Amino acid sequence: MTLIERTIEVRRPLAECFAFAADFAHIASWDPGVARSDRLDDGGPGVGSRYRVHVRFAGRSVPMSYVIEEWQPPRRVVLRGTSESVRALDEIRFEPSATGTRIDYRANIELTGAVGLLSPLLASTLQRVGDDALAGLSAALDGTGCSGRRPALVHRVFDRLLLPGLFGFTRLGYLRAARNFAPLDDDLTGRVVIVTGATSGLGRAAAERLAALGARVVLVGRDSTKCAAVERELRAQVDGARLDMEVADLASMREVRALAGRLLEKFPAIHVLVNNAGVLLDDREVTSEGLERTLATNLLGHYLLTNELLPRLSESAPARIVNVTSGGMYTQGVKVADLQMEREPYDGVVAYARSKRGQVLLTEHWATALVGRGVMVNAMHPGWAETPGVERSLPRFRRAMARLLRTPEQGADTIVWLAAARQAERETGKLWLDRAPHPAHVLPWTRQSEAERRAFVAALDQLLQAR
Ligand SMILES: NC(=O)c1ccc[n+]([C@@H]2O[C@H](COP(=O)([O-])OP(=O)(O)OC[C@H]3O[C@@H](n4cnc5c(N)ncnc54)[C@H](OP(=O)(O)O)[C@@H]3O)[C@@H](O)[C@H]2O)c1
């Protein structure tokens, strides 16, 4: 459930404001998220009046039914809205003010079905939709024009984020894209490839494929028993597999430093680093080093590991780094002033999305820093794949999407392609899904200036000091 609460002051008298805003027959003229609205009954509006409101959604016009539940002119109206994927309860209060009318708008919005699974990620988007709507109402009542004809932000977001999310990220999206894939048969003999999070899901699938292409694959996991079991299974599955195993908790900077030391000692050349390990947690956890665990695992550990291995990767050029991010990052920027999420209520999905946004920022940072050094750095989004991680962290999502989830191999395909394919050898600094580059941002507020990116990297360095 998302609660949108906004107050505006307009210069119009109370009765006129009520007559205009409480009757949703006018809503398309002020809310840019509405394409059209029709009253379904005759007579003046009142309790029981019904509207068919066509909301702009994913490039289409989706009908919503609204009914007036309470009608107290000129002070208050309550409307209930329903559609296949949205339930809304809108309350509008009108009070006279010194200069005209004060309007308090309160909307409770619940996304249901498959779209509902994305609610936590879309909460901030809905807030901005509320901003657009109230700005439109204010402009319409004050006669300064209205934003109703501008494509709504929600429209743009659903077009570019939700639709690809609901289709392109699924198994069907993969199958559609894979029709154009060239066979991945590059020979990786002699190449050393490090894969973090290789004991499960995408990391395991990528490790298997990379080993099958002839690479010497270093499986990094946090659990030695699990690592040993995966190593055994991969040896059984891949003829002549060349595998090594390293155990380290990536959320522990002490262990990451030790891991890097062992890798540098053991491997005179390192050609590929796949930063894949990741977690999505329900509750805020803090490591013994005082780090919020999602940040530590998904971002800081990989930042440290990559920095420690960079000189060796560079010496071993041509070399590649693949950062496994998530589509969740489309909804978030990084919060440099509060990387550990100490100053706001913890939300695991938001913490995850911010850590994944951080990986994209680091991809851009390293790609710029490494120009001319033969190390290509890219981020990829695997789509939605059925893995133990998804089963553990998003059980409702997994159940609802069961038939649409990718296999781990399909999710891992672009990891392997970026790590191995000749076609990808010159690519750097980009975000990929299904072997195609994608924009790293769809929302303006997730963008960072160059100065903000530098501040973000400096904040990571600061967190690493004394750890
Ligand atoms: N599956 C998807 O649909 C999806 C979508 C978007 C992004 N991703 C990203 O893809 C990556 C892989 O996810 P997955 O779905 O394959 O999840 P998974 O099945 O849970 O695999 C995650 C891997 O990371 C390891 N790991 C977790 N915390 C660690 C730590 N502190 N130190 C070392 N290793 C650690 C896990 O080890 P254990 O085996 O010991 O748990 C496991 O090997 C993650 O970065 C995830 O954010 C996945």
Q: Choose among 282, 413, 278, 284: nearest CA to 356.
A: 278
CATH of residue 44's domain is 3.30.530.20
For residue 374, the domain's CATH number is: 3.40.50.720
Residue carrying the six token digits 């069907």:
172
In a domain, 155, yes or no: no
Residues 431 and 307 in one domain: yes
Q: How far is the CA of 301 from the centre of ligand 1 (A)?
A: 13
Cis, bond preceding 388 (omega within 30 deg of 0): no
Q: Is the CB of 291 under 6 A from ligand 1?
A: no
Do 24 and 91 share a structural domain?
yes
* Alpha carbon nearest to ligand 1 atom 6, residue: 326
123 with 213, same domain: the answer is no
> What separation in Å is there between the alpha carbon of 452 and the centre of ligand 1?
28
Q: Are residues 277 and 369 in the same domain?
A: yes
Q: Is residue 194 domain-shared with residue 98, that is, in the same domain?
A: no
Question: Per-residue pLDDT for 150 more than 50?
Answer: no
In angstroms, what is the span from residue 288 Cα to ligand 1's centroid? 21
Active site residues: 352
373: its two tokens = 């050094």
Tell me what pLDDT residue 147 has.
43
Question: Domain for residue 114, yes or no?
Answer: yes
pLDDT tens-place string over residues 44-68: 899 999 999 998 765 567 789 999 9
The domain of 103 spans 2-137
Q: What is the pLDDT of residues 229-240, one digit of tens each?
A: 999 999 999 999
Average pLDDT of the chain? 91
- Nearest Cα to 341, choosing from 294, 390, 273? 294
Same domain, 174 and 286: yes
Same domain, yes or no: 58 and 173: no
- As a whole number of angstroms, the distance between CA 220 and CA 208 comes to 13
Cβ(388) – ligand 1 distance below 6 Å: yes
The reported pLDDT for the residue numbered 149 is 41
201 and 293 housed in the same domain:
yes
Q: What pLDDT is stored for residue 330 in this prediction? A: 84
Q: Work out the number of other CB atoms within 10 angstroms of the CB of residue 336.
A: 17
CA gap 425, 418 in Å, rounded: 8
Total domains in the fold of the chain: 2
pLDDT of residue 159: 45
Does residue 269 lie within any of the structural domains? yes
Question: In sequence order, which residues have a C-beta less than 8 Å from that of residue 102 and are 6 or more positions away?
Answer: 7, 8, 9, 94, 95, 96
Domain assignment present for residue 150? The answer is no
Q: Quick one: average pLDDT of 135-145?
A: 85
Domain shared by 322 and 390, yes or no: yes
Cβ atoms of 64 and 81 within 8 Å: the answer is yes
What b/e readout covers 419-429, taking b as 16+ CB neighbours within 10 angstroms?
A: bbbeebeebbb
Residue 55 CA to residue 399 CA, distance in Å, equals 28
- The reply to whether ligand 1 has any atom less than 6 angstroms from the CB of 165 is no
In a domain, 157, yes or no: no
Report the amino acid identity of residue 196: T
Within a domain: residue 434?
yes
Q: Is residue 161 part of a domain?
A: no
For residue 201, what pLDDT is reported? 98
Would the pLDDT of 220 be above 90?
yes
104 and 15: one domain?
A: yes
For atom 42 of ligand 1, the residue with the nearest CA is 197
Same domain, yes or no, for 190 and 124?
Answer: no
Average pLDDT rounded to a whole number, residues 165-184: 86
Q: Which residue has the higher pLDDT, 373 or 399?
A: 373
